[in-house]
A and B are shown apart, each in its own frame.
Chain A
Amino acid sequence: MNVKILFFPLSVTIAFAVFVFYVKPEVDTVMRTRDTLAQKETLATDISKKVENIHALEADLNANKDNEEVVMNYLPDTRDDDRIVDRINFLVLQSGLVLTSVKIDKVSDVQDIAVSDPQADILADSSAILAPVGTDTSMISQTPVEIVKPKTLSVTVDALGSYESIRDVVGKIAHVDRFQEFTSVSIERVSDTAKSSTTDSTEQPAPSTVLNTLFTIHFTYLPKVNTKGNFNRPILAQNRFDFNTVQKLKQSISSAIPPMEVGSTGTNDPFLR
């Protein structure tokens, strides 16, 4: 009878203890696992979509290789100094100017910085990033996307010629098939001193039509972009490229330059003139 009396309060106490120490933590674990599962399912769906998009984008790029070439040519991944010198020389001579110097300087590099792209962040919020198995996706989704900054070469050209020739060459360089920007153009009348010294001093020399021009152009190149396994890029949310920019670019490039030829090579004496 005594055991019977104790049984009810004892069982209530045991039941309470089971709820507090076992059921409650297990409920918390279930809630956490459900959240993880929901996140991973979203991630799996997103990756599946991205895989489809990557295949579609690659096919789109393969079908438009000429557009890719135009863009790569316009904004190359290396300095491409030889092509710059070749193009400037070709256009300056074609315009009738006398090229006296071409100086190439590297403008101070902007360090590649890891910044968060707002659009990428939206994707990141939906765990739109590939995560290795067993890793916490919520942490990886905050991985910033590395933005590669374009690098610039400053090219200073010194030349002599008429105003018409200068105007012509500036217009042609502005439409060359290379990403550039004129930062300065200066034109000065060439001093008449040399000319007047050879003529009669009583005769007023006619003003010189020869002008000296000095212009600085910034040529830009963009080092190859490496995603380093971070596929948190807005473009991967699309399944095709917008080639409108390439069409506009093609229209803006009007200065046709023949491809550079190296010519004959090989000598026994590199110092032989």
Chain B
Amino acid sequence: MANINLSQSSMERNKHELNSVFDKSLLISSGLLIISFGTWLGLIAYNSSLDKKVIAVDQNITTQSAEIESGAVNRIVDFQERMQNVDQKLKSTDIMPQEMFALVEKLMVTGVSLDSYEYDLKTKTVSMKAMANEFKDIARQVTNFKSQSTFKSVIVGSTSKGSDGKVISDMIISL
């Protein structure tokens, strides 16, 4: 049997190893390129599908918007605005003139009458000119007004006796 040399020379072995390393790096490089380009193309495709969805939703919005009649919306909003304004008015807690009349009638002292009366919502005051025979009657009247808790204050202005002998007093009630 002839002798066969199966062992490789060291040079050939090195060359083979080098080829193996190059093959691996080629594989990795190709993989990297495929992944990067693949990701890019995948994202483009995904973005395109998202754009299509956006367009579809836009069309849906347009279709539904067309269903809304601005006349109907105006009528609804207009009615609601009116109701809100009415509601605010109904909730008002100001003492109204007709309530003030009832209060003054109830609080008038015998012997005292009014010469003039002025209700002002802006300043929330009621100015009166009261007339009586005696100063004492005016004092009693002021005391009675002060006993009313809904009045914040009762201020007495000038009080004097006129030529007819009647005592006239100016009063301002704050509400």
Q: Which residues of A are in contact with B by a Cβ distance under 8 Å?
A: 1, 4-5, 7-8, 10-12, 14-15, 18-19, 22-23, 26-27, 29-30, 33-34, 36-37, 40-41, 43-44, 47-48, 50-51, 54, 57-58, 61, 68, 71-72, 74-75, 77, 130-131, 133-134, 148, 150, 167, 170-171, 174, 179, 181-189, 207, 215, 220, 222, 224-227, 229, 231, 233, 235-236, 241-242, 245-246, 248-249, 252
B68 at the interface (CB under 8 A from A): yes
A253 to chain B, nearest CB (A): 11
Contact sample, A vs B, 12 pairs, CB 8 Å cutoff: A8-B26, A30-B43, A37-B54, A41-B57, A54-B72, A58-B72, A179-B85, A183-B122, A215-B97, A224-B78, A231-B73, A233-B80
* Assembled-state Cα–Cα distance A236/B83 (Å): 15
* Assembled-state Cα–Cα distance A252/B1 (Å): 130
Question: Which residues in A have their C-beta under 8 angstroms from that of B78?
Answer: 77, 224-225
Stretch at the interface among B3-11, B30-38, B135-143, B147-155: B30-38
B67 at the interface (CB under 8 A from A): yes
B87 to chain A, nearest CB (A): 4
* Assembled-state Cα–Cα distance A12/B30 (Å): 9
* Assembled-state Cα–Cα distance A226/B67 (Å): 18
Number of interface residues of B (CB under 8 A): 65
Would you call the interface of chain B mostly helix, strand, loop, or mixed? helix
Would you call the interface of chain A mostly helix, strand, loop, or mixed? helix
Question: Which residues in B have their C-beta under 8 angstroms from that of A224?
Answer: 74, 78
Q: Which residues of B are in contact with A by a Cβ distance under 8 Å?
A: 22, 25-26, 28-30, 32-33, 35-37, 39-40, 43-44, 46-47, 50-51, 53-54, 57-62, 64-65, 67-70, 72-83, 85-87, 89-90, 92, 96-98, 101, 113-122
Question: Which residues in A have their C-beta under 8 angstroms from that of B46?
Answer: 30
Contact B119 A150 (CB under 8 A): no
Contact A179 B29 (CB under 8 A): no
| Contact A249 B40, CB 8 Å, known A54-B72, A133-B58 | no
Question: Which residues in B have their C-beta under 8 angstroms from that of A170?
Answer: 97-98, 101
Question: Which residues in A have their C-beta under 8 angstroms from that of B33?
Answer: 11, 14-15
The 4 A-B pairs with the shortest beta carbon distances in the complex, nearest first, are A11-B29, A26-B43, A18-B36, A225-B78
Question: Which residues in A have their C-beta under 8 angstroms from that of B35?
Answer: 15
B127 to chain A, nearest CB (A): 9
Question: Which residues in A have their C-beta under 8 angstroms from that of B97?
Answer: 170, 174, 182, 185, 215
Contact A50 B68 (CB under 8 A): yes
Contact B96 A174 (CB under 8 A): yes
Contact B40 A22 (CB under 8 A): yes
Contact A185 B85 (CB under 8 A): no
Closest residue of chain B to A40 (Cβ to Cβ) is B57
Contact A227 B30 (CB under 8 A): no
Contact B79 A248 (CB under 8 A): no
* Assembled-state Cα–Cα distance A104/B23 (Å): 101
Contact B54 A246 (CB under 8 A): no
Closest residue of chain A to B116 (Cβ to Cβ) is A188
